[in-house]
Structure 1
Amino acid sequence: MRYVNPYRFFLTTAIIFFLIYGYDNSFEGINLNQEPEELAKELEKMNTENNVDIEFEGIPFTKLDSIIPPKPVKNKTYHDYLVTQEQIDTMSIADAFSTKINLFDHYFKETKNTVPVDAIKKLDLKNSAYNRWLYKKVIDFKLLRENPQLFLNYLIGKLPFIIFIFLPIFTLFLSLIYIRSKYNYMEHLTFAFHTQSMFFILYSVALIIDIFTKNSYGVNIANIIFIGYLYQGLRKFYAQGKFKTIVKFMILNIIFFTLAIIVGLISVFGSFAIF
């Protein structure tokens, strides 16, 4: 209390934890200092170059075409999905959204056009900010589908600030469960931030151990220690009996994970929207 600001301490430990967490993530052969559209092109090129011929009973698949005549298949092109702006204006929001997604997806696959303004113009649609954003998201989704780790790393970088916003919401439930305690909301919040800081410190050490030992013993031990730490923290801070603390501990964990899922989903969609 005399030396540490709990909120600054939380952010510091969180950032250190996520730096350690991302230490092992690497992308050999890919220049990450590019726009998502350029990354999509590079990943596609790498996938093409890495294709290997597979043999079927001694015959490479690439030579089976001369043995088995191919069946004529009419592949759809983006022209099959073309719509006018007037047609889109008469659709519901959901139908217009799915129609444009299909059109943009097929158009990008065929043309590799990474310039939203140019693509929208060639498709003869309204050059609105929403249409440009939607076209860019189609490109981003293709990139993430081929390499989801890129988005995961982007999201992890935002997690300290997402948790910073999440904890005050969780504290509302914490203060309601301990409504008869002597503490006010800010003191409940300080407790929540300190326990979360302990989580980051404990798991930072565990990750470092696992990096050097090449196994997951550190994290497994950290799981057990942190559960015990949380229980003891609730008992000592709120000074209640064992049975009450166990019941409230279980309720708080259910609330925590439920809120975490909701906030996580909102964060994922929000992060993808600005990716």
Structure 2
Amino acid sequence: MSNTLPEKQTGRKAAKYRGVKCLNCSHPLDLSDVYCSYCGQINSTKKLSLGDYIKEFFSSIVNYDSRLRYTLKDILFKPGTITKNYVGGQRLKYANPFRFFLSVSIIYFLLQSLITTFSSYNPFVNLNNDTPVVIKNDSVVTLGNLNIPNQEVIIHDSLDTKKENLISEEDTLDKEKRTLPIKPKEPKEITYYSEAELDSMSFSDRLGKRFSLYRDFYTEYDIANPARALDSLKHNNTQFNRWLYSKNSSIDRVKENPFGFANYMLGKIPFFLFFFAPFFALFLWLIYSKKKYSYMEHLIFIFHIFGFVFLGMLILLLPDLLIGDEILTGILFMIIGPIYFYKALRNFYMQNRFITIIKFLFLNIVFNVSVTIIAILFFAITAATY
């Protein structure tokens, strides 16, 4: 008989190391408890060694990979079933739906931003403005480092002649420009509204007229400092008025770098959807009120749908890049997405096909209208904070 005990008897889980109180949360334990029933920490008083630390490190990775593997597999190939299992109590088997959605969406936009950044740089573009050397013989023309056979080139003398002609024409134009009288810039007519006039208007009119006045004043006089501009306009130097006037600089930044604003807006989409998901879950709660699901369970269903959409876009990001067009992403939204949503409704809420199709069509109409409204609000909020 071997004198060596099994690893579970000699490691941190051995009975001789167990205590009567959890070292993490002080919950009372029995000597037969391997783990704390309250916080889940191992019941062990053994000091942590290097070997124990390495084992726990790899054990946590394996456990995380297991949850991620099950989440990816079921969210891709078992629409609605993952929500049914999660709501039914299988919480440790899957990743948290809220955290999974945020993680996948943020990873997607980070990769998309990197691809956009690198694709805008073309290493094959000749950034050297120097004129390439042209050498001509009877059979080969050398243009820079390229050997072009049987190719005719323009003689340098004719190029120099044309260049001299262009220079002389430019000099003539410059002389003509100097002789022409310069017309002074005509001042733009600005419709002025005093604070008293603005206060007499409705909220929407007051906001529109105020911003129109600030925009015209900014464009005409190019005064970027809000306090100075408000003083010139004899308007109250309030925080709102300063903020509204400062949006003129934001408009200029958007005009100068529209792609920067687009990237800024795209980066906010995951958080925007995260906060508006409760609004979508409200429709499911109303439509499926007889199924006696709680509001939180409907919300989990929505986040699983969102998670699938961003996971699909993440998977198709590289293939679409190689193809050169977003064909696969279009198929995801136009064909795969609707089929997935229908199957998810069917598997989770367990209603017959006819009722599910009716509710599926109604929810699509509601979601399309609400997404349009929310997108407008999202653009306005994003522009206001840019």
Q: TM-score range by the shorter chain?
A: 0.7 to 0.9
Kindly provide the CA deviation profile for residues 102-157 of structure 1, in whole angstroms up to 9, marking residues without a partner as x: 44323322433222122223344332222211211123224334544333222222
Deviation at 1:5, TM superposition (A): 1.0
The 3 A distance-change label for structure 1 pair 126 and 249 is same
Counterpart residue number, 1:149: 259
Matches within 5 A, 1:62-101: 75-77=186-188, 80-81=189-190, 83=192, 85=194, 88=197, 91-93=200-202, 96-101=206-211
Q: Could you tell me which of 96, 99, 109 is aligned with 1:18?
A: 109
Q: Does 1:106 align with 2:216?
A: yes
Q: Does 1:242 align with 2:242?
A: no
Counterpart residue number, 1:137: 247
Give 1:81's aligned amino acid.
I
How far apart in 1 are the matches of 2:225 and 2:288?
55
How far apart in 1 are the matches of 2:367 and 2:209?
38
Matches within 5 A, 1:208-219: 208-219=318-329
Q: Taking structure 1 as the reference length, what is the TM-score of the superposition?
A: 0.73
Q: Does 1:254 align with 2:362?
A: no
Unpaired runs of 5+ residues, structure 1, are 30-58
Partner secondary structure for residue 360 of structure 2: helix
The 3 A distance-change label for structure 1 pair 205 and 86 is closer
Mean Cα displacement is larger for which, 212-221 or 196-205? Answer: 212-221
- Which structure has more relative contact order (CA 8 Å, sep 6+)? It is 1
Counterpart residue number, 1:41: none
Partner secondary structure for residue 81 of structure 1: coil
Counterpart residue number, 1:227: 338
Counterpart residue number, 2:98: 7
How far apart in 1 are the matches of 2:244 and 2:347?
52
Counterpart residue number, 1:180: 290
Give 1:192's aligned amino acid.
I
How far apart in 2 are the matches of 1:148 and 1:140?
11
How far apart in 1 are the matches of 2:342 and 2:193?
61
How far apart in 1 are the matches of 2:106 and 2:345?
25
Q: Does the 8 Å contact 2:223/2:229 carry over to 1?
A: yes
Give 1:17's aligned amino acid.
Y
Unpaired runs of 5+ residues, structure 2, are 1-90, 122-168
Aligned residues: 242
How far apart in 1 are the matches of 2:369 and 2:193?
43
Deviation at 1:211, TM superposition (A): 1.6
Q: Does the 8 Å contact 1:108/1:139 carry over to 2?
A: no
Counterpart residue number, 1:42: none
Give 1:207's aligned amino acid.
L
Kindly provide the CA deviation profile for residues 44-86 of structure 1, in whole angstroms up to 9, marking residues without a partner as x: xxxxxxxxxxxxxxx99xx7xx8xx99x998333xx4274746
Deviation at 1:201, TM superposition (A): 0.3
Mean Cα displacement is larger for which, 84-93 or 207-216? Answer: 84-93
How far apart in 1 are the matches of 2:105 and 2:320?
18
Give 1:14's aligned amino acid.
S
Q: Does the 8 Å contact 1:20/1:208 carry over to 2?
A: no
Deviation at 1:99, TM superposition (A): 4.5
Q: Does the 8 Å contact 1:10/1:196 carry over to 2?
A: yes
Give 2:347's aligned amino acid.
K
Larger radius of gyration: 2
How far apart in 1 are the matches of 2:354 and 2:246?
54
Cα-Cα RMSD: 3.5
Deviation at 1:200, TM superposition (A): 0.7
